[in-house]
Amino acid sequence: MAEEAKKRVMVVDDAALVRLYYRDTLEHAGFHVDEALNGLEALEKLLTAPVALLIVDINMPQMDGLTFVDAVRRREMPLASTPALITSTEGGAQDFAAARAAGANFYLVKPVTRERLLEVTAMLCGTAA
């Protein structure tokens, strides 16, 4: 993947403030950030603009994060293999298991610091931190 494409990520979260917080952090580090308010909108956007990483909240209207990740995994390649980072306020063993079952690659419990978000994003995108 070209270095440029590696830096394109999508934040899927229904809270405008959270999108802004993540986007600001990531853009500051040179990432290009797409946004979606829920899983349905994210699926639609991915049809025209694939990304190197999905950063996905769980609780969202229309389509929640886990349903969304599961739906992505059922799409054709290479879309189906897009890495997904789940961010959630829940941090129980059953939450991690559910995310893994849906096809998530990584899980961060909110609040997520700017440093940690960048570290994990760079790791999953395969860019230098």
Footprint on this chain of another protein (rule: CB under 8 A): 15-24, 35, 87, 89, 110-113
Nearest distance, CB of residue 20 and another protein, angstroms: 4
Nearest distance, CB of residue 109 and another protein, angstroms: 9
User: Quick one: 69 exposed, middle or buried, by C-beta within 10 A (0-12, 13-18, 19+)?
Assistant: buried
- Which residue number, 71 or 87, has a Cβ lying nearer to another protein? 87
Sign of CA dihedral 58, 121, 83, 79: positive
- Which residue number, 33 or 51, has a Cβ lying nearer to another protein? 33
- Which residue number, 100 or 110, has a Cβ lying nearer to another protein? 110
Nearest distance, CB of residue 88 and another protein, angstroms: 10
CA atoms within 13 A on the CB side of 93: 0
| Chain Cα centroid distance, residue 91 | 17
